């Protein structure tokens, strides 16, 4: 077997020898793997929400056109990196082969079912056939192959959770895990896109972390999602307002928090132009966490400067230590949330 780079630079074609995420094109040749790679037989992709929404809108909601666009992206770049949003998603599959340099260095074995926890925007991917598109849950069922690099992270499918639940949860597991790190007892937390897949996990974790003296306010437009949030009881109040209107958000969110600014705001939306709505309601030295891949970080930084907000802004890194375990733990400890995932995201 040929020797590969830990971070996958050996797969980069254009430009050569750079990290595979920023590369315009990487090799998805699966005929021979490198000594530090894991070959995966892929059954499904969970495209990230910002990317899938963009492709769906571009295709006018037509499933055949969505499938064709995904094939075009992978054929052109060797990976599922949306050229508009720059984001990817995760995949689920079965370990088919392990490079000889990883023998004894990984807990994986051939036949293990896993969810990758690194973005499809850097994962070598070959699509042989698309079997179906599930528009409601951003799911693409395929036959194909993928490569996990030596540095790549993953989660084995738990025996007590279904494959579909595991995949849906792992696509966004970085969000609630970051909430667990950022939120403290007694704080006030404002969550945008509160009723979506990542948002609802964040609301649950925030509610647990702030305790009885804290407040969790959700912003959500979908009537269905609002009803789900109410049934779960994880928000003190839910605001049905336009997240793209920072003045409306500021006024309504401060009123919901007894006139006080927030300690933390979290953006779980899949639409752009909500940066200042997330920044304005937060106190000086508070924290704004942009989990959304639709975020313009230039707009957020310059916008905060323009209104004199001294806030800590965190890029939505999908990885934080223990994120898979934290998210699986949420689903295990909250039967109502697990049931929701089984009914809505599978």
The string of pLDDT tens digits covering residues 142-198 is 999 999 999 999 999 998 998 889 988 888 899 999 999 999 999 999 999 999 999
Tokens found for residue 117 = 């926890």
Which architecture, in CATH terms, is 174-344? 3-Layer(aba) Sandwich (3.40)
Per-domain residue ranges for the chain?
Answer: 9-157, 174-344
DSSP 213-225: G-EEEEE---HHH
- State the pLDDT confidence band at 49, using cuts at 50, 70 and 90: confident
pLDDT tens-place string over residues 15-41: 999 999 999 999 999 999 999 999 999
Mean pLDDT in residue range 281-301: 93
* pLDDT above 90 coverage of the chain, percent: 88
Asked if pLDDT for residue 318 goes beyond 80, the answer is no
Cα four-point dihedral sign 200, 174, 92, 114: negative
Phi-psi sector, 203: left (phi>0), alpha (psi -120 to 50), beta:
alpha
- Nearest residue to 314 via CA among 300, 328, 302: 300
Q: Rounded CA gap, 23 and 33, in Å?
A: 19
| Model confidence pLDDT, tens digit, residues 94-138 | 999 999 999 888 999 999 999 998 999 999 999 999 999 999 889
pLDDT of residue 147: 98
Is pLDDT at 317 greater than 90 in this prediction?
A: no
In this structure, are residues 260 and 254 in contact, taking their beta carbons and an 8 Å threshold? yes
Strands 215-219, 139-148: pairing kind: unpaired
- How far is it, in rounded angstroms, from Cα 105 to Cα 94? 18
Mean pLDDT of 296-318: 92
What is the rounded average pLDDT for all residues in the chain? 95
User: 33: buried, middle or exposed (CB in 10 Å: 19+, 13-18, 0-12)?
Assistant: buried
- 171 close to 196: Cβ distance less than 8 angstroms: no
pLDDT digits (tens, 9 = 90+) for 188-234: 999 999 999 999 999 999 999 999 999 999 999 999 999 999 999 99
Q: What is the DSSP string of 119-185?
A: -TTSS-EEEEEEEEEEGGGTEEEEEEEEEE-TT--EEEPPTTS-HHHHHHHHTTTHHHHHHHHH--T
Averaged over 58-63, what is the pLDDT? 96
Which whole-number Å values give the CA distances from 86 to 77, 81, 120, 271, 295, in the listed order?
12, 6, 10, 14, 11
Handedness of CA 291, 294, 299, 304 (dihedral sign): negative
Exposed / middle / buried, residue 249 (Cβ in 10 Å: 0-12, 13-18, 19+):
buried
Whether the predicted pLDDT of 278 surpasses 80: yes
From 147, 145, 143, 115, select the one nearest 130 (Cα to Cα): 143
- Residue 74 has a pLDDT of 98
Q: Is the model's pLDDT at 296 over the cut of 80?
A: yes
pLDDT exceeds 90 at position 76: yes
Residue 249 has pLDDT above 80, yes or no: yes
DSSP-derived 3-state class of residue 318? coil
Produce one character per residue of 292-321: b if its CB has 16 or more CB atoms within 10 Å, e if not.
bbbbeeeebeebbeeeebebebbebebebe
Q: pTM of the prediction? A: 0.82
């Amino acid at each position: 077997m040929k020797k590969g780079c830990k971070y996958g630079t050996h797969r980069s074609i254009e430009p050569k020898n750079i990290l595979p995420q920023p590369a315009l094109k990487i090799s998805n040749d699966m005929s021979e793997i490198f000594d530090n790679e894991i070959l995966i037989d892929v059954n499904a992709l969970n495209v990230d929400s910002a990317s899938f929404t963009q492709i769906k809108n571009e295709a006018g909601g037509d499933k055949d056109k969505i499938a064709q666009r995904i094939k075009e992206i992978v054929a052109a770049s060797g990976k599922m990196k949306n050229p508009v949003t720059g984001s990817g998603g995760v995949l689920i599959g079965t370990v088919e082969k392990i490079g000889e340099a990883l023998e004894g260095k990984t807990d994986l074995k051939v036949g293990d079912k896993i969810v990758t926890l690194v973005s499809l925007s850097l994962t070598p991917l070959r699509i042989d056939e698309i079997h179906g598109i599930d528009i409601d849950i951003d799911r693409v069922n395929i036959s194909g192959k993928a490569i996990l690099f030596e540095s790549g992270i993953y989660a084995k499918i738990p025996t007590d959770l279904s494959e579909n639940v595991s995949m849906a949860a792992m696509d966004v597991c970085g969000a609630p895990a970051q909430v667990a790190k950022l939120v403290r007892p007694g704080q006030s937390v404002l969550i945008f896109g509160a009723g979506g897949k990542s948002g609802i996990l964040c609301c649950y974790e925030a509610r647990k972390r702030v305790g009885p003296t804290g407040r969790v306010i959700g912003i959500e437009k979908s009537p269905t999602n609002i009803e789900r949030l109410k049934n779960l009881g994880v928000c003190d109040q839910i605001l049905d307002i336009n997240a793209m209107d920072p003045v409306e958000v500021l006024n309504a969110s401060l009123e919901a928090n007894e006139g006080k600014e927030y300690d933390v705001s979290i953006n779980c939306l899949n639409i752009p132009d909500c940066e200042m709505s997330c920044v304005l309601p937060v106190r000086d030295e508070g924290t704004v966490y942009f989990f959304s891949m639709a975020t313009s970080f230039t707009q957020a930084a310059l916008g905060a400067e323009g209104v004199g907000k001294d806030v800590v802004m965190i890029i939505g890194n999908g990885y934080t230590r223990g994120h898979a375990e934290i998210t699986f733990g949420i689903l295990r400890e909250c039967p109502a949330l697990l049931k929701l995932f089984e009914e809505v995201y599978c």
